[in-house]
Amino acid sequence: MVYVREKFLPNLKQYKYSSVDHSLVSKYVLKPFYTNFVIKCFPMSMAPNLITLTGFMFVIANFLTLLWYNPTLDQDCPVWVYYSWAAGLFLYQTFDAVDGTQARRTRQSGPLGELFDHGVDALNTSLEVLLFAGTQNMGQTWKTVATLFASLLTFYVQTWDEYHTKTLTLGVVNGPVEGILILVGVYAMTGFMGGAHFWQQSMLGAFGLPQGFLGLPDWLYNLSFTEWYMVQGTVVLVYNTVESARNVIKARRARGDRSRYALVGLVPFFSTWVLMVAYLALQPNILHNHLVPFVLFAGIVNAYSVGQMITAHLVKLDFPYWNVLVLPLGWGVVDSFGPVLQQYSPIPGLGWPSALGDDVYQVGFMFCMLGMAVGVYGSFVVDVIVTICDYLDIYCLTIKHPHTEDSGGEKSMQLNGGKAKVG
């Protein structure tokens, strides 16, 4: 399947990365650390995209230890596992940041770097949800699903914002900087406190506050650390979504476009999640016993949507509203809803028997959805990367045209497939 038509490829040469990072931690702590120390650890011959991919391998290693020690997301792991998750995530953040600096110093900045970087970040999002659930003993429950929804929505909205405003905007407190550092701290603290069970106690009680403090009702006093985190996350999610919507409306008005029509771009995400919630509600066996592979499926569905948006942004295509991966999910919902109608509908004869049932065939179908998602997203990634590399005469993971000072700066004007983002 062709994802980018040849007639749109010349738009790649008009590419210019734009970002605004208001984070004080990034400005005064991380960037000096990256620029003065970390970047010197990488040779000039190493491609920026290879740095990104190498950093992602630390997250993959973390995920594999999760599958080995806590596949049900509700067991304590050896304390060293949590420390390794903290180290792995910090290294991922570091590698993901310095790839931009490496691109600039090797003169490899270009559109492929942005696409590659966003693709890896999108995959990392769902994996970190599982790791976080494992550090909180959330288990295979709706709490994990809610955390996944919030995380994927944040990433989707940020990409949707960039598509319309043409600028990646990071606030004073943002996910790629403070959000990751908080997770690193949570992982390390989990190890220090002896396991994930620590977070399941009442937060107010753990701080020594008495029952009935300030007249708080018992249900509020008894909220665990995990539940307080979810409350805080909900507030931040709503705020960031509203702010992104305001940014989009303002940018489109400045260009003379229909401003509020851009909000339709959020419909694909929410409609997909209506199907996901419906499927899990109709199939509790998947929710409570096979949630990990379903989270991977949901993460790839979101990564595919995000990848389509970034590609459309790079080559100036219309906004991508359609995601083919919702088709099997929709079929699963329809198949599962038939028996519910048969049992509860007041109208005789309404409903239909399930072709899959709720046991082994349903589990097999869920894994087939995951396999289809891997295939479709993999096809998309390979096709788009190969298309861009062929057109710009570059390689993805190696440097095809190294910059030399004797070239008089001509090489630096080429879009040689690295990073253009601010490291």
Q: Is residue 118 annotated as a catalytic residue, yes or no? A: yes
**pLDDT tens readout for residues 360-412:** 999 999 999 999 999 999 999 999 999 999 999 999 999 988 876 554 444 44
Q: Give the C-alpha distances (Å, rounded to integers) separating 321 from 83, 165, 262, 269, 309.
A: 40, 18, 11, 9, 9
Distance from C-alpha of 296 to C-alpha of 292, rounded to nearest angstrom: 6
Q: Which residue has the tokens 């919902």?
A: 333
Helix (H, G, I), strand (E, B) or coil at 19: strand
Distance from C-alpha of 400 to C-alpha of 164, rounded to nearest angstrom: 32
Distance from C-alpha of 281 to C-alpha of 208, rounded to nearest angstrom: 38
Helix (H, G, I), strand (E, B) or coil at 421: coil
Q: Which of 217, 321, 316, 332 is nearest to 264 (CA)?
A: 321
Q: Which of 407, 403, 415 is nearest to 105 (CA)?
A: 403
Catalytic site residue from 118, 164, 313, 403: 118
pLDDT at 408: 44
Helix (H, G, I), strand (E, B) or coil at 307: helix
Residues in the chain: 423
**Spatial contact of 373 and 297, defined as CB atoms under 8 Å apart:** yes
Looking at the DSSP assignment, which residues form a beta bridge with residue 168?
Answer: 19
pLDDT at 349: 79
pLDDT at 407: 45
**pLDDT tens readout for residues 335-359:** 999 999 988 888 887 889 999 999 9
Predicted confidence pLDDT, tens digits, the chain (423 residues): 678 888 999 999 888 888 888 888 988 999 999 999 999 999 999 999 999 999 999 999 999 999 999 999 999 999 999 999 999 999 999 999 999 889 989 988 889 999 999 999 999 999 999 999 999 999 999 999 999 999 999 999 999 999 999 888 887 878 888 889 999 999 999 999 999 999 999 999 898 888 877 788 888 889 999 999 999 889 989 988 998 999 899 988 888 887 778 899 999 999 999 999 999 999 999 999 999 999 999 999 999 999 999 999 999 999 999 999 999 999 999 999 999 998 888 888 788 999 999 999 999 999 999 999 999 999 999 999 999 999 999 999 999 888 765 544 444 434 444 444 433
Output the CA torsion sign for 378, 384, 385, 387: positive
**Spatial contact of 366 and 284, defined as CB atoms under 8 Å apart:** no
**Tokens representing residue 65 in the block:** 């230890």
Q: How far is CA 255 from the centre of its chain?
A: 29
